[in-house]
Amino acid sequence: MAPRTEQELLSYGVMDPVMVDALARFPVRDPHPSDPYYGDDSHSAARAHRAATLREKHHLRSVPGPIPDQVSEEERMIPMRDGAEIPVRIYRPVQKPAESSPLVVMYHEGGWSMGDASDEETNCRLFSRDLGAVCVNVEYRVAPEYPFPAWIDDSWDALKWAAQNAASLGADPARGFIVGGGSAGGNITAVLAHIARDEKLSPTLTGQYLCVPAIMCFKPPTLISPSYRAEYLSHPDVTTNIDPVLKIRTGAEFAEHMHGVLKASWVDPRLVPLLYGAHENGHRGLPPAYFQICGIDPLRDEGLIYERVLREESDVKTRLDLYKGFGHYFWTNWPQLDKSREFVQDTVKGVKWLLEQTP
């Protein structure tokens, strides 16, 4: 498949009329005077505002709360390498599948500095109810309280814990062992797929779910391979960012967040998984990957390039759903839209496809 043309890529970034209407009628709100963090411009205030606005829309999601007659949920604390414990939430189908349950481990979004397990609870409930999976929803520690590489260390420790305890959790990884997440969680997923391959995780991963993933992390176009530069148009230094949720205006703005809040670097593949391509094994030997990518998302071309690299250069099976004219995490910020319901249905279908690739 030839690289996408400039015209094709730019057409993905024209806001869909449905998105235009949703933004006009239900704009992403700024803090109100009644919000306890009003007037506070700190990172903790931004974190609280993000959580508050998502909670306000939670009742509109396809599965707005627990479904105990179909999926059981258990909170647990698991050990990390530094002696600390982090919370995970385990989801199991009440009606056990005839052929045992696959294992799915999920990581939330939030720019490695926000978010919690509630961000992935809808997916986990659906994977358990509709696909019979046992899901482990990981609440890794985030920056700035826990700077890089804390979230990767936590996430890898949690993945190893899930692998080692699969049987006691009620899962059989031989039916499928998938790792997944969105945005920062998609970034973590891409990194973990490489670490699991290199560290020979047993049982082995059989699939990776990459939802609007950060793969280059807004690395400046001049610092990525010329082979991909012509396809890297969604970077905010190249094309003005109109995404109403992920409002990064320049690569320098992300660099400030990366250095100041995350204490991370563009030269480390544990932040920029595309860099694994320069290592001995490159991206070869990774499990099949399912991508969901949005047209006006400034991360769009990071995901599109990576999908092509996996498929064409690394012989990795891929499946891609592209939502032209829609933005980063539109399905949680405007869950009432038909397109949002379609996105959630596609997620389940895509993860089902990953399970069907299990050897």
277/197 Cα distance (integer angstroms): 13
Residue 2 has a pLDDT of 76
Tell me what pLDDT residue 70 has: 98
User: How far is it, in rounded angstroms, from Cα 345 to Cα 358?
Assistant: 21
What is the arrangement of strands in the sheet containing 134-138, beginning at the earlier edge strand?
A: 71-79, 85-93, 134-138, 103-107, 177-182, 207-211, 289-294, 318-323
| Token pair for 210 | 């990459």
What is the sign, positive or negative, of the torsion defined by CA atoms of 94, 99, 103, 104? Answer: negative
pLDDT, tens only, 223-271: 999 999 999 999 999 999 999 999 999 999 999 999 999 999 999 999 9
| Cβ atoms within 10 Å, residue 358 | 16
Question: And the tokens for 308?
Answer: 């092509």
Among 8, 7, 348, CA closest to 178: 348
Please state, in angstroms and rounded to a whole number, the distance separating the CA atoms of residues 220 and 266.
Answer: 9
61 in Cβ contact with 83 (< 8 Å): no
Whether residue 203 is preceded by a cis peptide bond, meaning omega within 30 degrees of 0, is: yes
Measured CA to CA, the distance from residue 191 to residue 286 in angstroms comes to 11
| Biggest CA pair distance of the chain | 55
Q: Which positions ≥6 away from 327 have C-beta within 8 Å?
A: 15, 19, 242, 243, 244, 245, 246, 294, 295, 296, 297
Q: Token pair for residue 172?
A: 């059989």
Amino acid 179: pLDDT = 98
Residue ranges in the chain modelled with pLDDT below 70 = 1
Q: Using the structure block, give the residue that is written with the tokens 């092509």.
A: 308
Closest-CA residue to 177 (of 108, 92, 102, 126): 102
Task: Specify the residue for token string 């950060």.
Answer: 214
Separation of alpha carbons 337 and 232, rounded Å? 29
pTM of the model as a whole: 0.98
List the one residue out of 207, 225, 203 whose CA is nearest residue 216. Answer: 225
What helix, strand, coil percent values describe the chain, rounded to 5? 40, 15, 45
Compute and round to an integer the Cα radius of gyration of the chain.
Answer: 19
From 354, 201, 187, 353, select the one nearest 274 (Cα to Cα): 187
CB 343 within 8 A of CB 328: no
> Is 107 within 8 Å of 123 (Cβ atoms)?
no
Sign of CA pseudo-dihedral 62, 68, 70, 72: positive
Residue pair 10/74 in contact (Cβ under 8 Å)? The answer is no
DSSP-assigned letter for residue 108: -
Q: How far apart are CA 332 and CA 109, in angstroms?
A: 12
Please answer whether residues 236 and 301 qualify as being in contact, where contact means their C-beta atoms are separated by less than 8 angstroms. Answer: no
